[in-house]
Structure 1
Amino acid sequence: MSALWWSRWPDCPPIAHQLHCDRDRWVRFHSLPESKRYADTAAEYQILLERHNTVLTELFADHLVHIVTKSFVPDEGVEVFSPIDPHALNPGSRPWTRLREDDDADPGGTMHLHVSERRWKPGSVDPLLLAVADDECADVIIMDIDLRRLYHPYDGGADVILAGPQERDALKAAHADWLSTHPLGL
């Protein structure tokens, strides 16, 4: 899978928060009305899940997908707290790869990416989506097995990378009221 990743995405490591590197195929959707970041009520959680599952189903309906979760092992002396094990929310996942992302803003450590494969069904990853929405885990990627379409949920929405600009534009038009008003689409 790593060879396929690097052939499809040579300038973008499989680090979910860096996936907007191909801007002509990228779109960001917000998970709640008026770009609200966190859900406070059961009704808002329902909206959040409906938006995620709607786009995911449009992308992957009844097809096989890879689901990638990340854990972070900090270098000695660096403290990081994670309330949950993200791989536990990704049943059947197995180790895929390890990566480092060191910069001045973040402590050093190793990211352990695990991947599972399953047929996409709406609601099948709701516990994982809710953990992401509540900022309990991060850097999840849901993608087709050919790695042409990538979906990265984050606390506040989702970054979506599509096969081409036309597909991206069609998806943006279908869900225009979920887009950011920011000029860069952030």
Structure 2
Amino acid sequence: MISSGIYHSETFVVASLGALFGAQIGANVGSSRAFDKAKEDEMKRLGVTKEMLEMAEDCGVALERAMEGLKATQDSYETQRAFARRLDSDSDRLYEKAKAAMTASEEEKARALLTERQGMQEKLKKALMSCASARKMLEQQEENVAALEARAMEVEALLQRGVGAKAMQESSDQFSLSDEDPLVKKFRDLDID
């Protein structure tokens, strides 16, 4: 089973990345060059480089694929478990029928039922081995998703730091004090002493 922590972090990561990536990746592939240039200028203004954007896109795609793989692996595991439970139930049912046949002195029928049950038990062993294998694959996939979620959060933090640094630089540029008095500068520019 998937731990609820992965689902909660998945929701956080998907929501955070959705907002972030949606704003940055929203353009269609066939967009006009003017729009691409405007998008590139906006990314520059925000302090996001092409490399950062590519890293975010790659991370988002990898996380999406991992989530799809996790869902498929979980479905496979649940199918294996359901099959094993059905075989176990059928095996128990055959055993009860064999006991009833023995009680009714129908030894030949009981023997046939027990033989059928033995075949069912072999199928059950194989199903349980497949179930254990599917469980290991599920655990590995959960670890992969957790690692990609952590990477996505790192990329998001990097993008936020870049945007924050650019915003801080712009605000400090706007409010920086000139070393020289503007009136003195004006006179100097006019060559008046």
Looking at secondary structure, tell me which structure has more strand per residue. 1
Q: Same fold (TM over 0.5)?
A: no
TM-score under structure 1 length normalisation: 0.25
The structure with more radius of gyration: 2
> Comparing both structures, which one devotes a greater share of its residues to helix?
2
